[in-house]
């Protein structure tokens, strides 16, 4: 059986706890992975003097795939977000975040099944901020035709391959006529010239958010620029049970880094109560990515078995605190592992 070398970055805050739990589950499932642990985040500062050591970036560049825990970003001061730096340095231009109801996790809406495609390299995340005068600071929103066309093509191709029939673009082109205007024009062009059979919709982001919380089942693929994608991801997480249950992938032409939508949650770090499910679901996405690239049916089967095991565990009421349960991070991992063993007849 093939074995895939994968970089693993535990990260900061709850990162090491949820990463260890996920690795334990993957090992129990016999996932064909060879781990190469590297550091990023505040954890990397003391060991390497850098929050994003070159060695970590270069190994991901070489191996092509990483599973990453969250890295803390200081608020209002300090270094640039490690997550953002990594996406930029590896040109991981498409963030893909599936948002689905889970059995056993009751929420206001049933049948939520949508995916967020977020442009990951520019917009207000370009990090170009200046002091203009003693009294004024400014932040620059950057949009390039190259990146806007690239993410639009990626989203339409993704929708077509996964048999989604509808794409909705959220924008604020009534106010940001140049930047969001360009984003919209690129999406329209790709729709009209390359994917006319996909149902295409544009919504001003404020109205879009209102419609999302009124009835998220009306949406399939959401295409957004960087900052809107960040904000709407958490909104959508709230529709299906919170940040503990939404996975993600950052994908470029050569590399892919799989990480949960949530951050390092310093408020609950070190307590052993974080939900490892979002990172586990990200790992399942990673196995499917590896399986697709290598046409490896056994790897896909492992991904399916893990998915069935966590669904089964949730249906049986095995939940961490964020979902109303009382299991610890490790307790939930053990619950998933026991379902894996039971399913294999062990």
The binding site for ligand ATP (CB under 6 A) comprises 13-14, 70, 72-73, 243-244, 262-268, 274-275, 278, 322
State which residue, 70 or 325, has the beta carbon closest to ligand ATP. 70
**Whole-number minimum distance, CB 107 to ligand ATP, in Å?**
16
State which residue, 248 or 252, has the beta carbon closest to ligand ATP. 248
**Whole-number minimum distance, CB 163 to ligand ATP, in Å?**
30
**Whole-number minimum distance, CB 262 to ligand ATP, in Å?**
3
**Whole-number minimum distance, CB 26 to ligand ATP, in Å?**
17
Q: Residue number with the shortest CB distance to ligand ATP?
A: 263
Instruction: Please answer whether residues 220 and 112 qualify as being in contact, where contact means their C-beta atoms are separated by less than 8 angstroms.
Output: no
State which residue, 18 or 169, has the beta carbon closest to ligand ATP. 18
State which residue, 187 or 278, has the beta carbon closest to ligand ATP. 278
The β-bridge partners of 131 are 137
**Whole-number minimum distance, CB 261 to ligand ATP, in Å?**
8
State which residue, 82 or 205, has the beta carbon closest to ligand ATP. 82
**Whole-number minimum distance, CB 105 to ligand ATP, in Å?**
13
**Whole-number minimum distance, CB 205 to ligand ATP, in Å?**
20
**Whole-number minimum distance, CB 263 to ligand ATP, in Å?**
2
Give the residue among 292, 179, 158 at the shortest CA–CA distance from 222. 158
List Cα–Cα distances, 339 to 14, 151, 264, 308, 314, in angstroms. 24, 38, 28, 8, 10
Instruction: Please answer whether residues 90 and 61 qualify as being in contact, where contact means their C-beta atoms are separated by less than 8 angstroms.
Output: yes
Instruction: Please answer whether residues 78 and 18 qualify as being in contact, where contact means their C-beta atoms are separated by less than 8 angstroms.
Output: no
State which residue, 248 or 263, has the beta carbon closest to ligand ATP. 263
State which residue, 179 or 275, has the beta carbon closest to ligand ATP. 275
State which residue, 5 or 266, has the beta carbon closest to ligand ATP. 266
**Whole-number minimum distance, CB 69 to ligand ATP, in Å?**
10
Q: Say how far apart CA 277 and CA 333 lie, in whole Å.
A: 9
Written in H, E and C, the secondary structure of the chain is CCCEEEEEECCCCCHHHHHHHHHHHHHHCCCCEEEEECCCCHHHHHHHCCCCCHHHHHHHHHHCEEEECCCCCCCCCCCCCHHHHHHHHCCCCEEEEEEECCCCCCCCCCCCEEEEEEECCCEHHHCCEEECCCCCEEECCECCHHHHHHHHHHHHHHHHHCCCCEEEEEECCCCCCCHHHHHHHHHHHHHHHHCCCCEEEEEEHHHHHHHHHHCHHHCCEEEECHHHHHHHHHHHHHHHCCHHHCCCEEECCCCEEECCCCCCCCCCCCCCCCCCHHHHHHHHHHHHHHHHHHCCHHHHHHHHHHHHHHHHHHHCCCCEHHHCCCECHHHHHHHHHHHHHHHCCC
State which residue, 17 or 180, has the beta carbon closest to ligand ATP. 17
């Amino acid at each position: 059986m093939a074995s895939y070398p994968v970089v693993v970055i535990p990260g900061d805050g709850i990162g090491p706890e949820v990463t260890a739990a996920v690795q334990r589950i993957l090992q129990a499932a016999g996932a064909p992975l060879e781990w190469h642990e590297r550091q990023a985040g505040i954890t990397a500062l003391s060991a390497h003097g850098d929050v994003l050591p070159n060695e970590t970036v270069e190994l991901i560049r070489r191996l092509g795939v990483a599973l990453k825990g969250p890295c803390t970003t200081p608020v209002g001061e300090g270094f640039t977000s490690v997550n953002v730096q990594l996406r930029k340095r590896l040109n991981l231009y498409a963030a893909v975040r599936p948002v689905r109801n889970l059995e056993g996790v009751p929420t206001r809406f049933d049948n939520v099944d949508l995916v967020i495609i977020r442009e990951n390299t520019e917009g207000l995340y370009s990090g170009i901020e200046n002091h203009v005068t003693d009294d004024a600071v400014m932040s620059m929103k950057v949009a390039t035709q190259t990146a806007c066309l690239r993410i639009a093509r990626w989203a339409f191709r993704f929708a077509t391959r996964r048999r989604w029939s509808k794409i909705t673009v959220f924008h604020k082109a009534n106010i940001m006529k140049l930047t969001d205007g360009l984003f919209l024009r690129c999406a329209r062009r790709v729709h009209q010239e390359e994917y006319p059979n996909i149902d295409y919709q544009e919504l001003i982001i404020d109205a879009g958010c209102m419609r999302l919380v009124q009835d998220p089942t009306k949406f399939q693929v959401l295409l957004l620029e960087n900052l809107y994608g960040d904000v709407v991801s958490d909104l959508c997480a709230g529709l299906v049970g919170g940040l503990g249950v939404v996975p993600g992938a950052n994908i470029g032409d050569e590399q892919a880094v799989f990480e949960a939508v949530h951050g390092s949650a310093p408020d609950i770090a070190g307590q052993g109560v974080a939900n490892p499910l979002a990172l586990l679901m990200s790992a399942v996405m990673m196995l499917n990515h590896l399986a697709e690239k290598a046409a490896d049916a056994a790897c896909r089967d492992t991904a399916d078995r893990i998915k069935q095991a966590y669904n089964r565990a949730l249906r049986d009421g095995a939940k961490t605190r964020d979902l109303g349960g009382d299991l610890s991070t490790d307790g939930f991992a053990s619950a998933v592992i026991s379902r894996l063993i039971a399913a294999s007849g062990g």
